[in-house]
Amino acid sequence: MNSSPSAPPTAPTANRTTRPPLGPTWFAAVMGTGIVANAAVTLPWTFPGLRTGAMVVWLGAALLLVLLATGYLRQRALRLHAGDPVMAQFLGAPPVALLTVGAGALLLGRPLIGSEAALDVDWVLWSLGTVLGLVTACTVPYLMVTRHRFAPDAAFGGWLMPVVPPIVSAATGALLIPHAPAGQLRLALVLGCYAMLGLGLIAALLVIALIYGRLIHHEAPSGAVVPTVWIGAGALGQAVAALGALAAAAPSVLPAPYARGTAVCALLGGLGVWGFAMLWLTLAAGLTVRTIRTGLPFAATWWSFIFPVGACVTATNTLAAQTGSDAFKWLAVASYGLLVLAWIVVAGRSALHAAGHMGRGMTEGHGHHPAVGAATRVAGTAPLRGSVRADEPPVAEARATRLDPAGEVVGAGLTVDEE
């Protein structure tokens, strides 16, 4: 149970709670499904039926994006999620979902909707995803500094989600550079993509350092939090892909010396970042195997396995194209095979969870849950900041939100005294 400050309640004993049907974490399903489709296009070799299958998967991601966006906007839970120190982190998932589906439209959607329509869809989704991503990258850290309070062991992989969207904007924006009007607009797009890459990558490295410090100095994470460790590899992999994509587009915009410099930076810098991504991927895999032995409950965070692995696939494909290395080519193909298998497992479990969730919603009527009770009284009325653990008594008259095992908000309200 997480607690956060709120405006003074109109009724101190109010205890009603509501159940928003989904949280922003589920947009990671769009991210994962979309990158499974997009990564297929970047593979060094073509396989029979692969592109057709990728097109079908992209259509599924686009449909899922529409359904989730419609449901999320209807429930009007944005302020509730922004006020929660855990759920606020995952507000970075919707922008990345938009960017991933938009890139898929340009890579895979042309045979279905035509080249012009595919380009228009990508421009719209990229623009919307970029704006939302920049807002998230600025707003969530601001809330973390000024509103939320965290324990020394609070850092987890989800802290990367708010700063990842600008990196994805840089990688997917490179696809639009050849289609931008020549001149200042195309130059602005290139420079903006590099700036967003720097914004996201440097911020991601800072957060990764915090997560590594938490892993070293505190007890290892367990349960549904463990998959979020993989997000670090996703941020690094997207940075490598962005460097390569921008280097390929730069010669049409930048003067020759700088265009050659982008190619050198993409190769040497990309190799270094890729190596760090492999280290982080190994660490995440080790923690996951360790957790599976004791039990890894299903949660929306399982989608944290998919997009990061997909980002590493695209990064490896990028380096394979730049170097011509057969080792990178085989590694990319093998990684993509593992990605598809993991996606099938996670998508299947998510479908079962969604079916059970809908069934519970039908039997619970309007979805109201019992009040969040309190078993103790605390003097004073100062606002409470930070987190309240499940094994600790809650504080009276504090605004609290409750999360289910899937990471969704299942209730929100005020704790009350019980004498």
pLDDT of residue 358: 65
Phi and psi based region of residue 46 (left: phi greater than 0; alpha: psi -120 to 50; beta: remaining)? beta
Residue 382: predicted pLDDT: 39
pLDDT at residue number 400: 54
Find how far residue 149's CA is from the centre of its chain: 22
* pLDDT at res. 300: 87
CA-CA-CA-CA dihedral for 147, 153, 154, 156, to nearest 10 = 140
Distance CA 190, CA 246 (A): 7
By the 8 A CB rule, do 266 and 247 touch?
Answer: yes
Which stretch of 65-69, 147-151, 307-311 has the lowest confidence by average pLDDT?
147-151
Q: Does residue 2 surpass a pLDDT of 80? A: no
Summarised one tens digit per residue, pLDDT across range 282-329 is 999 999 999 999 889 998 899 999 999 999 999 999 999 999 999 999
pLDDT digits (tens, 9 = 90+) for 323-356: 999 999 999 999 999 999 999 999 999 988 888 7
Taking the mean position of all CA atoms in its chain, how far away is CA 130?
A: 14
pLDDT: is 362 or 241 the higher one? 241
Mean pLDDT, rounded, for 57-84: 93
pLDDT at position 299 is 87
What are residue 217's phi and psi, to 5 degrees? -95, -10
Q: Any bridge partners for residue 413, and if so which?
A: 400
Range in 125-129, 168-172, 242-246, 401-405 with the lowest mean pLDDT:
401-405
Of the candidates 163, 353, 318, which has an alpha carbon nearest to the alpha carbon of residue 240? 318
Contact call for residues 342 and 306 (beta carbons, < 8 A)? yes
* Number of CB atoms found within 10 A of residue 368's CB: 12
Which of the four pLDDT bands, split at 50, 70 and 90, describes residue 381? very low
143-170 mean pLDDT: 94
Per-residue pLDDT at 360: 61
Structure tokens at 368: 């109201």
Question: Does the pLDDT at position 260 exceed 70?
Answer: yes
pLDDT given at position 11: 35
Question: What is the C-alpha to C-alpha distance for residues 150 and 385, in angstroms, rounded to an integer?
Answer: 8
What per-residue confidence (pLDDT) applies to 45? Answer: 87
CA 336 vs. chain centroid, Å, equals 19
Q: Give 36-62 pLDDT, tens digit per residue.
A: 999 999 999 888 899 999 999 999 999
Q: Which two tokens stand for residue 210?
A: 């915090």
Q: Which residues of 179-191 are buried (b: 16+ CB within 10 A; e: fewer)?
A: ebeeeeebeebbe
pLDDT at 359: 62
Average model confidence (pLDDT) across the chain: 84
Predicted pLDDT at 15 = 41
Q: What is the pLDDT at residue 29?
A: 94
pLDDT of 383 higher than 70:
no
Burial 301-338 (b: 16+ CB within 10 A, else e): bbbbbbbbbbbbbbbbbbbbbbeeeeebbebbbebbee
Share above pLDDT 90 across residues of the chain, in percent, rounded to a whole number: 67
The pTM of this model reads 0.82
List, edge to edge, every strand of the sheet that includes 399-403.
Answer: 386-387, 2-3, 399-403, 409-414
The Cα 417–Cα 359 span in angstroms is 33
Q: Give the C-alpha separation, 215 to 290, whole Å.
A: 14
Q: Computed from CA positions of residues 267, 232, 85, 367, in that sequence, does the dihedral angle turn out positive or negative?
A: positive
C-alpha 26/C-alpha 353 separation (Å) is 12
Average pLDDT over residues 266-285: 96
Q: How confident is the model at residue 353, as a pLDDT?
A: 83
State the pLDDT confidence band at 197, using cuts at 50, 70 and 90: very high
